[in-house]
Chains A and B, each alone.
Chain A
Amino acid sequence: MVSEDLNRLSGDIQLIVDGKRLDGRGFDELRPINIKVGVLKRADGSCYLEMGKNKVVAAVYGPREVHPRHLADPVKAVVRYRYSMAPFSVEERKRPGPDRRSIEISKVSREAIEAVVMKELFPRSGIDVFVEVLQADAGTRTACLNAASVALVDAGVPMRGLISSVAVAKVDDVLVLDPMKEEDNYGQADIPFAFFIRNDKIESIALLQMDGRVSRDEFKEALEMAKRGAMEIYQMQKEAIKAEYMIESEEVNSDE
């Protein structure tokens, strides 16, 4: 860590060259996103999502009976969220199984999802969300949340709106949207956001974490930047779902 800090201070690793990022993006530009809905046959809802080099797949089961039984809540559904990284998703093989990092991500992501899922409609039942990172770059937790949100819609789970998530980082003293690995590793700050979006408008913040150092003004600017990025992602999520259900809707329309 010390050597990294020294590198950064001495400017050995330059993350911004001629006003462009290492992969040629502008400061407020997202990585390419690709969303596929309904990729898993046995899940109630599923989604495969690519955000740059991140590749994640989300599966939703439920509402269903909760096992073990004592976890069930008599007045509302319990939401369970598992974030997990495949051993081959990172450069150095990751030991399979939960670690402190994935337990934390699972918890904060679950809380973000709980902000939109209408749990009170399904007493005594459970909604399970599983997300697996197949390939990790940076911002896997945001990619996973985006995928989970689409998978929940695909499962037909009642929700107040959608969750769209994106991170902002500070590198070489400028704020950049949707950081990639180098910017995450050698940057000065990393701030993942998730928003509750309803009717094409951001209603509230569902997830907010930060690590690093930013000034108060920089933070406010980062929030605005994240909002714009999240709206872009939201449009893509919407399009992906609508495209998937276009054919089916024609069928129902012609039937009734």
Chain B
Amino acid sequence: MTRPIVLPGELLASNPKVAGAGTYVDKGKVYAKFLGLLDKSETSVRVIPLKGRYIPSVGDVVIGIVREVTSNGWAVDINSPYQGFLPAAENPEMRPNRKPNDILEIGDIIIAKVVNIDPKMKVTLTMKDRMCRAVRFGRIVPINPARVPRVIGKGGSMIKLFKTELGVQIIVGKNGLIWISGDRRKVNIVEEAIYIIESEAHTEGLTDRITEFVKRRKGELNGQ
């Protein structure tokens, strides 16, 4: 199924009840809000963005850098127009007799989850989740947030490929930061593969090419 490209202001439907993400309603008509692909079904109309900054939404797993330490938590850069805030109470490592400074310092990297966004776009993070942790080892690879679905692949196929072929740990933040950990040479291969995924605009059969690339590089490693 091919989805057509829509531009801002294109009329998508005349029933405001079907308006979904990436659309807006004016005088009972549904229009596209930004450049993207039209995804239309009988019950909903939405636009899948092709470009744009990372805008947080509740439930997203993000990777952030601690920018400021305060008495009641940490201000975290989440690669977005907005800064995230991790309250001290949302970090399970926090004990009553410890200060925020002893747990996370400026420059530390964390994997966190977005729990709340208030109308003024104050983003609250939490680390009370299985996936969340402070990053003490491994590597961070930054990519364009719009390419994140491409790195994950269809049904997580790309991630699965990296995990099974190379045995690395990998967590993709919705904000375009990716954490990889494992054998350093294998992490190198994953990093290269991610950059290939990000840069190749014309990607017919990208999954196959990445599979081939990973296998070839792995073969080179074992051959040495």
Taking A156-B35, A157-B52, A160-B31 as contacts, is the C-beta distance between A242 and B120 under 8 angstroms? Answer: no
Cβ B26 vs Cβ A74 within 8 A: no
Cβ B3 vs Cβ A162 within 8 A: no
**A116-B8, A125-B121, A162-B7 known; 15 other A-B pairs, CB under 8 Å?**
A65-B82, A65-B83, A122-B121, A156-B50, A158-B24, A160-B26, A162-B9, A198-B9, A248-B201, A249-B2, A249-B50, A251-B201, A251-B202, A252-B37, A252-B50
Cβ B154 vs Cβ A198 within 8 A: no
A107 shortest CB reach to chain B, Å? 23
Which residues of B are at the interface with A, using a C-beta cutoff of 8 A? 1-5, 7-11, 24, 26, 31, 33-37, 48-53, 81-83, 119-121, 146, 149-150, 153-154, 201-204, 206
A5 shortest CB reach to chain B, Å? 43
Which among B33, B50, B82 is the interface contact of A245 at CB below 8 angstroms?
B50
- Majority DSSP secondary structure for residues of A touching B: mixed
Cβ B9 vs Cβ A197 within 8 A: yes
Cβ B34 vs Cβ A124 within 8 A: no
Number of A-B contacts (CB under 8 A): 123
Chain B CB within 8 A of A254 CB: yes
- Majority DSSP secondary structure for residues of B touching A: loop
CB pairs A–B below 8 angstroms (15 shown): A45-B51, A63-B81, A64-B81, A125-B121, A153-B35, A156-B49, A158-B8, A199-B31, A241-B7, A246-B5, A249-B2, A249-B5, A251-B204, A251-B206, A252-B50
| Closest Cβ neighbor of A161 among chain B residues | B9
Contacts of A65 in B (CB 8 A): 81-83
Chain B CB within 8 A of A211 CB: no
Taking A251-B206, A256-B154 as contacts, is the C-beta distance between A159 and B34 under 8 angstroms? Answer: yes
Of residues 123 through 152 on chain A, the ones whose CB sits less than 8 Å from some CB of chain B are 123-125
Cβ A255 vs Cβ B149 within 8 A: yes
Of residues 175 through 231 on chain A, the ones whose CB sits less than 8 Å from some CB of chain B are 197-199
Taking A157-B52, A161-B9, A256-B154 as contacts, is the C-beta distance between A123 and B120 under 8 angstroms? Answer: yes
Chain B CB within 8 A of A94 CB: no
B67 shortest CB reach to chain A, Å? 11
Contacts of A44 in B (CB 8 A): 51-53
| Closest Cβ neighbor of A256 among chain B residues | B154
Taking A153-B8, A160-B31, A256-B154 as contacts, is the C-beta distance between A62 and B53 under 8 angstroms? Answer: yes
Cβ A255 vs Cβ B154 within 8 A: yes
Cβ B120 vs Cβ A124 within 8 A: yes
Taking A162-B7, A199-B10, A245-B5 as contacts, is the C-beta distance between A155 and B82 under 8 angstroms? Answer: no
Cβ A250 vs Cβ B2 within 8 A: yes
Chain B CB within 8 A of A238 CB: yes
Cβ A252 vs Cβ B53 within 8 A: no
Bound together, the chains give a CA A62 to CA B80 distance in angstroms of: 9
Taking A122-B81, A156-B35, A157-B34 as contacts, is the C-beta distance between A254 and B204 under 8 angstroms? Answer: yes
Chain B CB within 8 A of A118 CB: yes
Chain B CB within 8 A of A10 CB: no
Bound together, the chains give a CA A43 to CA B210 distance in angstroms of: 28
Which among B53, B153, B201 is the interface contact of A63 at CB below 8 angstroms?
B53
| Closest Cβ neighbor of A242 among chain B residues | B5
